[in-house]
Structure 1
Amino acid sequence: MISFAAPWVFLLLPLPLLVYRLAPPHREKSSSIRIPFFRHVAKAAGIEPKSGSVIAHRPMLQTAVVTLIWLMLVAALARPEKLSDPIVIEKSARDVVLALDISGSMDQRDFQSTDGTPKQRLEAVKDVMRRFIAERQGDRMALIIFGTRAFVQAPFTEDLNSLNGFLDQTQVGMAGPNTALGDAIGLGIRTFDASEVDQRLMIVLSDGADTSSRMTPTNASAIAADKGVVIYTIGVGDPNASGEDRVDLDALKAIADRTGGEYFFANDEAALAQTYQRIDEQNPRIVETQSYRPQESLAHYPLLAALLLMLGSAAGLHFAQRRRSLP
């Protein structure tokens, strides 16, 4: 499709005609030969001498060429451009942070897989998280791991394959043996500072009680609520254990309730998969759609045509004058 960026320029098309009709004619004096006996010559020829002027007439071909040149120049000023098919860009309208507990207790093999065999907690969680990540194509996601300290394993990215790669590199104990749940939430809040969207979702998975945070989970969840971060918490492990191995379900529930999220408990791989499925159903993908049409300027084509017409016209006039000057 071809359109003009400045179609109002075509209003200039009748300008030469208006100048021709309204502007005073161009007058030019030319030299002549004075003959002392001019009156006698005129009388002998039977002509009555009188003053006058000669109006030069432009040939039709030259008029047509000049008209075409003017049309090409006006068309170039109107900025013709070729519009390609619209290109639609979908941009995620929500950012998601995954916070994963990799404390020492995640090494226990008390998680039942779908085939009934015991499985390491972290490996079962990673298998389910991979599927969850793969189903959120187009979303921006970040990965936080926490043990004694919390770290950003992967910043916000739309490349979910690389995010799964960072998840694969995660091992039990690489962030320390203890559980810093509050610090992980605080780090997630700081990670959202680089986010430009209003919809902010954090999914926190933990199998222990907070024992090493510098910021309590209660304070962290209050700050998250103030900043509009919704937190979904998932508890795995044994709530009847003692010490750091006991998952603090009450704390996880309080965090979710304070931020407007929801709390889940999963004691095997199937339940964990259902938990992520429910989170996905409650938080469908939100996108912002932008579209644009690539534009290719075509103004150089009428300019080139006008230049060729001017060069051809000048060459034609030059050769015509040379022919007239030849004997």
Structure 2
Amino acid sequence: MNSLFDGLLNLWQLAWVLPRGESALELAHPLVLALAPLPLLLTWRMKPYVTRVEALHAPFFAAIMQATGTDMHDGELILRRRWLERAVGILAWLALVVAATQPAWVDPPKEKILPARDLLLAIDISQSMDQKDFPADGGKLITRFEGVRQALDEFITRRSGDRLGLLVFANGAHLAVPFTLDHALLHELMAQTRTGMAGPRTMIGDAIGLGIRVFDASRAQAKVMILLTDGADTGSRIPPDTAARIAREHDITIHTIAIGTPTATGTDRVDTATLKSIAQLTGGRAALASRFGELQTVYAALDALETANHTRLTHRTRHPLFHWPLGFAVTLLLLWHLGEAVRVFATDVRAKRGVVVDVVAGEPRV
């Protein structure tokens, strides 16, 4: 019995969708349309309703019937409806049936992304990043920062499901873009960023410290930082290794990318040992890129390592339409009854005005 009830319930909940491009017309209860011929079936199968009333006994009944032109019958009088009255009833009934199906217009699908990862890009913009010694494709030399910017643009484009943030550092660390799904904003800010605008030094530890504070407001399941620099820490208030340990306590993974040559001396030397230690302490990866092709490979590897982690929700707005057929039925019936009232009133007025007195015959005549 329960299975039969469940089957009938599922059948009742069956919906029809009539697509029109990306939009659609939906009927929540299409089976209600089966009730459309119900009035015809009732008229065909059911007998007219009969009301018994007291008869008027008159010895001159036959003369009255003849004078009024009414045919004699067995005592039952079935009122015949006019074609207009039938049409109004049929249209009103069909409109009510359509309204009962709960029609709705469904808009094209809208997609919403719920990211599960926040990814912070920490980019070194010290003056050393302006050195034009970074081989691009074809052997042309470009600045280190220009190579980083081109590779980042490609990387950002592939991270459509993640919230991205941008942090730049030199003498100090500065949050350029908080976590956002508006990746076009990151492209624009990267294009406007210039090396040396935050000073000549490289504060790696301060950059990690600011990144930890940025992640404090994040509720993402995965927190990832990509740290890119071409130098060594030059006096951060918090040592890089200490900052990395604090990041690990906050469940932040740091991937490090070294730009330049580790064999250089002085300020041109990139501290790969510290960058490897930061990555190992936080469960990340350390990489070295001395040319543009290698940097692209590093970002591709990170893209594969930190796969897109998000949920796509599809929503389609429904606009109920049942009020239109319902309003049509109610308006049609109101207009019909109003018209009938006016017609009856006009008939009574004409009947009163049509009574004249025939002076010659001395009898009233219509």
TM-score in terms of structure 2 length: 0.67
The equivalences for 1:248-259 within 5 A come to 248-259=271-282
Q: For residues 251 and 107 of structure 1, what CA distance do their matches in structure 2 show?
A: 22
Report what 1:296 is aligned to. 319
* Structure 1 residue 100: Cα displacement: 0.8
CA distance in 1, matches of 2:78, 2:218: 74
Alignment pair present for 1:104 and 2:122? no
Q: 1:218 aligns with which of 213, 238, 241?
A: 241
Match of 2:256 among 201, 219, 233: 233
- Residues 81, 298 of structure 1: 8 Å contact kept: yes
Identity percentage of aligned residues: 38
Deviation at 1:204, TM superposition (A): 0.5
String of CA shifts for 1:57-98, please: whole Å, max 9, x gaps. 795876885686477457647643123454444444433211
Aligned CA distance change for structure 1 residues 58 and 149 (closer, same or farther; 3 Å):
farther
Query: Residues of 2 paired with 1:115 and 1:3: CA distance?
Result: 58
In structure 1, the gaps of 5 or more residues are 15-26, 28-37, 46-53
Alignment partner of 1:124 is 2:131: no
Contact residue 148 and residue 175 of structure 1 kept, 8 A? yes
Question: Shift in Å at residue 179 of structure 1?
Answer: 1.4
Q: Return the match for 1:175 from 198, 203, 208.
A: 198
Partner of 1:184: 207
Deviation (angstroms), 1:232: 0.9
How far 1:8 sits from its partner (Å)? 11
Partners of 1:216 and 1:308 in 2: how far apart?
79
Give the Å deviation of 1:256. 1.2
Pair 1:255–1:77, CA change in 2 (3 A): same
Q: Does 1:83 align with 2:83?
A: no
The residue number in structure 2 matching 1:33 is: none
Instruction: Give me the whole-angstrom Cα distance separating, in 1, the residues matched to 2:329 and 2:183.
Output: 54
Residue type of the alignment partner of 2:173: A
In structure 2, the partner of 1:199 is 222
Asked if the contact 1:92/1:138 (under 8 Å) is kept, the reply is yes
Which of these residues, 138, 157, 160, is aligned with residue 115 of structure 1? 138
Structure 2: gaps spanning 5 or more residues: 1-17, 19-24, 39-50, 62-75, 355-366
Cα distance in 2 between the residues matched to 1:265 and 1:111: 13
Partner residue in 1 for 2:307: 284
Q: Which residue of 2 aligns with 1:30?
A: none
Confirm or deny: 8 A CA contact 1:104 1:173 kept in the other structure. Answer: yes
User: Distance in 1 between the 2:26 and 2:295 partners?
Assistant: 56
Specify whether residues 117 and 7 from structure 1 end up closer, same or farther in structure 2 by C-alpha distance, changes over 3 A only. Answer: closer
State the distance in 1 between where 2:336 and 2:142 align. Answer: 88
Contact 1:178 1:244 in 2 (8 A): no
Which stretch has the larger CA shift, 268-277 or 157-166? 157-166
SS of equivalent residue, structure 1 residue 115: helix
Shift of 1:263: 0.5
1:134 aligns with 2:157: yes
Amino acid at match of 1:199: A
Q: Distance in 1 between matches of 2:101 and 2:216?
A: 46
- Name whichever of 76-85 and 148-157 sits farther off: 76-85
Residues 2-45 of structure 1: per-residue CA shift (max 9 Å, x gap): 445689999xx99xxxxxxxxxxxx9xxxxxxxxxx99x87x99
CA distance in 1, matches of 2:87, 2:150: 77
Question: 1:94 maps to which residue?
Answer: 117
Q: 2:347 matched to which residue of 1?
A: 323
Counterpart for residue 18 of structure 1: none
Give the direction of change, closer, same or farther, for the CA distance of 1:68–1:114 in structure 2 (3 Å limit). Answer: closer
Equivalent residues of 2:161, 2:309 under 8 A apart: no
Q: Which whole-Å CA distance do the structure 1 matches of 2:312 and 2:243 have between them?
A: 33
Deviation readout 1:132-175 (Å, 9 max, x if unpaired): 22333454322111011001122333343432221122222211
Q: Which residue of 1 aligns with 2:170?
A: 147
Residues 90-145 of structure 1: per-residue CA shift (max 9 Å, x gap): 44443321111122322333333333344432222223222322333454322111
Please give the alpha-carbon distance, in whole angstroms, between the structure 2 residues aligned to 1:183 and 1:55.
100
Conserved 8 A contact 1:179-1:244: no
- Relative to structure 1, the CA distance from residue 164 to residue 86 in structure 2 (aligned partners, 3 Å threshold; closer, same or farther) is closer
Cα distance 1:215–1:306, how it changes in 2: closer, same or farther (>3 A)? same
In structure 2, C-alpha distance between the alignment counterparts of 1:9 and 1:190, rounded to whole Å: 59
